[in-house]
Structure 1
Amino acid sequence: METSSEKKKIPHMTITRLAQYLNCLSLLPREHYKEISSKELAAKIGLKPTVIRQDFHHFGGFGQAGYRYKVPNLIDGLERILGLDQKQNVIIVGVGHLGQALANYRNFEKLGLRLVGLFDINPRLIGITIRDVRVRDIDEIPGVVERDNVAIGIITTPAEAAQSTANLLAHAGVKGIWNFSPVNVAGPAGVIIQNEHLSVGMMTLSYMLKQSHPPEAQG
């Protein structure tokens, strides 16, 4: 159950874990999991039950202490907290390999996202259609943002174009930027920016593999 505590400052890691809980719960077979305990959920994610209960406490606890959580109610509550019950129009800027992969990601709709625009500067890409959305020149971004009330701009451009793209999106009126370029971007106050770095995850995995399977010493 959501309470006024949602208006308080919630730790970023708590929000990240809420997304993990929702993802896990959404994949459970509904016929077998009508209810779930914090211990069961923790075992599936690799956390301590106390962490889950503390996270839920920020939002009223999602039920009575000592009782199992009803999975449908828990999913609905997490979706509301994460804003997935509110449909958001999004556009993608940069229609290279990564941009096209994201455009073809069919779970966007489950996240409450509706792709309404694709943009690039490459004349060979402008005019093609991906999932019924035509690729346009970036000069058309302001008009599409205003016409379709676009809330989120996704950046998949090369590094050298990322910040100028973020500036263009912010000036056009988007409220959030999801940046997949190799560099961080910044924006004005009021524009929320999420910088993703795929290479960071790869390097972290590489380090962990090296620690668990050290290379044999050369003779």
Structure 2
Amino acid sequence: MAIQNKVSLPVIKRLPKYYRYLTNLSAEGREKISSSELAHMMGTTASQVRQDFNCFGGFGQQGIGYKVDVLRGEIGKLLFGDGERLSTILIGAGHLGSAVSSFISRDTNGYRLIGVFDINPALFDKEICGVPIHPLHELESFCAEYHPEVAVLCVPRQSAIDVAGSLVSYGIKGFWNFSHYDLSVEYPDITVENVHLGDSLMSLGYRLRNQE
């Protein structure tokens, strides 16, 4: 499978959506799908679907369409690699952290939660999804021993600012960031996925209030 040197971020961000729809189609027993049908589900064009897949060498034959399970498998390889889950730590064991940790811990997501950290002494020695909650001051020694690759930040903006630099120095390669601080600005060489739940909610409100 040939991959272009640089795949654009919009194409990368569409891959999980393709995978989700193909998973549903497979569960329904669907064997084949055309680029036009897939485009209709995705809310885009058949040409865009083909262009997206051509970034990775293409997965079907012109006029024949795509085998659902084969296409799902190929996109799964792009998203999950060889199946080795990324070792992950979570900072912030409050309500949001608890909810997010449950999502991370699902085997299908490609991540392995190995440690949770917080500053609240009442949470120490407790667990989230079977993973112990550690004091934040143990973060450096934990990272030195277990070498996590991903940090999930479920903390306020200032706390994210305070801890991000240390995490980078400890070897963290990527952030799933729920704070209101855009880490990608200060750490351009680190892979960051910023999640702004408020932005999504405000966008929904705008669309509802401005329907024709």
Q: d(CA) in 1 for partners of 2:3 and 2:25?
A: 29
Aligned-partner residue type, residue 142 of structure 2: V
Q: Residue in 2 aligned with 1:74? A: 71
Q: d(CA) in 2 for partners of 1:106 and 1:153?
A: 11
Aligned-partner residue type, residue 199 of structure 1: G
Q: d(CA) in 1 for partners of 2:151 and 2:36?
A: 38
Q: d(CA) in 1 for partners of 2:145 and 2:88?
A: 12
Q: Contact conserved, 2:86 with 2:150, CA < 8 A, in 1?
A: yes
The unaligned stretches of length 5 or more in structure 2 are none
Q: d(CA) in 1 for partners of 2:188 and 2:178?
A: 20
Any idea what SS the aligned residue of 1:32 has? coil
| Alpha carbons of structure 1 residues 106 and 16: separation in structure 2 relative to 1, 3 Å | closer
Q: Residue in 2 aligned with 1:96? A: 94
Tell me whether 1:18 sits opposite 2:15 in the alignment: yes
Q: Residue in 1 aligned with 2:117? A: 119
Q: Residue in 2 aligned with 1:212? A: 211
The total of aligned residue pairs comes to 210
Taking structure 2 as the reference length, what is the TM-score of the superposition? 0.91
Q: Contact conserved, 1:155 with 1:165, CA < 8 A, in 2?
A: no
Q: d(CA) in 1 for partners of 2:119 and 2:79?
A: 33
Determine which structure has the larger helix proportion and give its number: 2
User: What is the percent sequence identity of the aligned residues?
Assistant: 33
Tell me whether 1:147 sits opposite 2:165 in the alignment: no
Q: d(CA) in 1 for partners of 2:141 and 2:76?
A: 30
Q: Residue in 2 aligned with 1:131? A: 129
Shift of 1:194: 1.6
Q: d(CA) in 2 for partners of 1:82 and 1:208?
A: 31
Q: d(CA) in 1 for partners of 2:20 and 2:209?
A: 29
Q: Contact conserved, 2:3 with 2:55, CA < 8 A, in 1?
A: no
Any idea what SS the aligned residue of 2:76 has? helix
Q: Residue in 1 aligned with 2:174? A: 176
Shift of 1:200: 0.6
Q: Residue in 2 aligned with 1:157? A: 155
Shift of 1:205: 0.6
Shift of 1:63: 2.1
Q: d(CA) in 1 for partners of 2:147 and 2:64?
A: 42
Any idea what SS the aligned residue of 2:132 has? strand
Q: Contact conserved, 1:93 with 1:154, CA < 8 A, in 2?
A: yes
Q: Contact conserved, 1:99 with 1:156, CA < 8 A, in 2?
A: yes
